[in-house]
Amino acid sequence: MMRLCIFFLLLAGAQAYGQSTRIDRVEPLNWWVGMAHSEVQLLVYGDSIATWEPSVDYPGVELLKSHRVENPNYLFLDIHIGTAAKAGQVDIRFSKSGKPSVTYAYELKDRERNRPKAQGITSEDFIYLIMPDRFANGDPSNDVVAGMRETALNRDSMYYRHGGDLQGIMGRLDYLQDMGVTAVWLNPVLTNDMEQASYHGYAATEYYEIDPRFGDNALYRELADELHKRGMKLVKDLVHNHVGLMHWTVLDAPSADWLHQWPEYTNTTYKDQVLFDPYASEADKKRMSDGWFVPSMPDMNHGNPFVRNYITQSHIWWVEYAGVDGFRLDTYAYNDLTYMAEWGQRMKEEYPDLTFFGETWVHGVPNQAVYTQGNTINQDYDSHMPGVTDFQTHFAVIEAMNGQFGWTDGVNRLYSVLANDFVYEDAYRNVVFLDNHDKSRFLSEVGENIDKYKSGLAWLFTTRGIPQLYYGAEIGMKNFANPDGLVRDDFPGGWPTDTVDKFTEAGRSAWENELFYYVRKLANYRRDNPVLQTGKLMQYVPEDAVYVYFRYNDDKTVMVIMNTAEETKAVATDRFAERIQAATQARDIITGATIDIAAPIQLAAKSTTVLEIL
C-alpha cells in the first residue's frame, strides 16, 4: 500500500536535537511543468502540520498562500509554477520556532508530450464496459491483501470479491481488439478499503492509488500503454459525488464542511426533477444534492473550494500520469452542478480533446438533456459536458422489443425518443447501451429471445451515438439486477480454475458463437465504415410495427429495417426512395448476401436486417 508515510531528518540540526516531524501525505503525489493551468494546490497531511510554517525556494516556483483549516493536521498550499520552471525536486521547508526545520522533496516532472493521452471518446468508438473484479484473474497472488479491511474471497457470492484484476484484463486485450472494441471503460479501480462489498469500486478510500487487489499504479499505466499500442483507448470511471466511509479524509476530516453534514443521517431522494423544476422547493433541492447516496458513501461538499481542488486535481493527475483518454462521470445529477460546470471547463482547458459522459439515470429526454453542454433548453448554466449515458434510448429499445405496437408504445417509443434529439447540442456524443453493471442483462429483459436480442444488438451498432457493450453481452450472459445481482457474474474462462473458457471459440456453445460472431461482424463493420460512426441519421415513422432508418454520408448508405411484430413482414421500399434513390440492390452486412430491394424485403418476426445500399 502506498501510504507516503515519510519521516524526515534531513538537516544536521534536526539530527543534533533528535527532533522530527512527520508528513504522512502530500497530494497530488507530484505535478508537472508546462500545464495549461499554472497553479496546483497541495494537500499536506501530518501530525499538527498546521503549526509549522511552509516555504519554497525553487526557480520559477512560488508559494502563493498557505491555508489552515479546522483540523491542525492539514495544510493546503497554493503553488504557482511559472513558465520558466524546470522539472526537478522542489524542496518545501517547514519551520517552527524552537524546532529544526524539515524539508519535503516534492517532484515536478516534465510532461510526456509524445505519449498518447486525453484522445477523447467519440462516435467513432465502441466502448466495452468491464467490472474488473468479475472479468479475469490474471494474478491470483493479489486476490487477498493483508492489512485491508475486507479479505474474504468467495466467487459463489455476488457481494464478495472474486479476484479479477488489471492483469487479467491485459491478458484479454487481443480478444477485445478482435471483436472490434476501440475503448475500454473499467468500473472504478481506485482503492476501496471498505469492510464489505468493496469489489464494485464506487466507495473510494484513496484518490491516488489503484486498489492493490487489482494491481498498482504502474500496472494501470501499462494497461493504458497496451491499449494505445492497439489503437484503443482507456475510459476512467470517476465519482465526484461521494467517497467511501473509510476514506482517509473522512476518518480525519480537514473540517466539518468537508462533507455534507445533517443533524441526523439524511439520504438523497434520488429525485432529479427538483434540480430543474421551476416550482421546486429549496428544501427538496438540498436533500437531492446534499443527501448521502447510501450510508456507506459520505457526500462530498462541493461548495468547499478545498474539496473541489482535491477532486479536480486528482483527475488531471490520472490523465497525465496514466494516459487516460476519457471519463465516465458517476451519479452526475447528485453533484453540485455549478462545480461540475467548473470542472468540465477546467478539463477542456487542460485537455482540449478529452471527452467525458455523465451517468444520467433519469426518466425523460429533457431530464437527461439538461445536463449536457450548450444551454440548449434554458438551463441556467452550461455544464460543459459533451454527452450522457443515454438511458432514454435504453428504456425505449427495451420497449421496442417487448411492447405492443401502438401510437406511443412498442417501437414508436424508440422513434419518438430519437425524434427529440433536437434538445442536444450533439446527440452523437451520447453513449447508447443495452445494459450495464446496474441494469438487468438485455438478454433477460427480452425473455431470452435470441431474435429480439440480436435485433437490439443491430440497433446498438447502427444508431447514432457511441455504442457501449457490457462485458459478456457478446456471449449472451443473462440475469436480472434485482434481487440477486447476478448481472455482475464472472466471465467464464477468466479464472485459471474455470472448466470452460468462453473467450475461445472452442469453449463457447453453438448459439454463444452465433452471438459472438454477430457482435464481431457488426462491431468491425462499424469500425471500418465511417457511415455508422459519423454518418447522418434519417428515420421513418414506424408502420405496422416496422421501423426503418438510414445512416448515410457522401460515400455510403446503410438501411436498417427492424421488424418488432410477432409475424413475418414484407416491406416495400418505394416509401424510402429519398434515401434509396435509384438503387435496386443491397448487401446484407451479416450474411454477405445480395438483396433485391426493388421487390418487397422479407423480414422474419422480431428481427432486424442491416443492408448496405449498392
Q: Which long-range contacts (CB under 8 A, 24 or more apart) does 419-427 make?
A: 419/539, 420/365, 420/392, 421/464, 423/365, 423/366, 423/369, 423/376, 423/377, 424/369, 424/372, 424/374, 424/376, 424/387, 425/372, 425/373, 425/374, 425/376, 426/386, 426/387, 427/387, 427/464, 427/465
The C-alpha cell at 475 is: 456471449
Place of cell 447476478: 486
Three-class SS state of 277: coil
Dihedral pair phi/psi, residue 61, rounded to 5°: -120, 135
HEC assignment per residue over 530-595 = HHHCCCEEEECCCECCEEEEEEECCCCEEEEEEECCCCCEEECCHHHHHHHCCCCEEEECCCCCEE
Among the listed residues 260, 261, 263, the one whose alpha carbon sits nearest the alpha carbon of residue 301: 260
β-pairing, 6-8 vs 21-23, is antiparallel
C-alpha span between 410 and 364 (Å, rounded): 16
Among the listed residues 38, 134, 35, the one whose alpha carbon sits nearest the alpha carbon of residue 80: 38
C-alpha span between 18 and 514 (Å, rounded): 72
Residue positions annotated with a catalytic role: 330, 359
Among the listed residues 80, 5, 27, the one whose alpha carbon sits nearest the alpha carbon of residue 306: 27
Contact 308, 254 (CB under 8 A): no
Contact 574, 600 (CB under 8 A): no
Length of the chain: 614
Q: Residue type for 280, please?
A: A
Q: How far, CA to CA in Å, does 612 sit from each of 372, 388, 525, 557, 586?
A: 33, 29, 11, 6, 5
The C-alpha cell at 598 is: 426493388
Place of cell 445533517: 262
C-alpha span between 25 and 49 (Å, rounded): 11
Place of cell 440480436: 454
Place of cell 438487468: 440
DSSP string, 365-399: HHHHHTTSTT-TT--SS-----EEB-HHHHHHHHH
β-pairing, 74-81 vs 39-45, is antiparallel
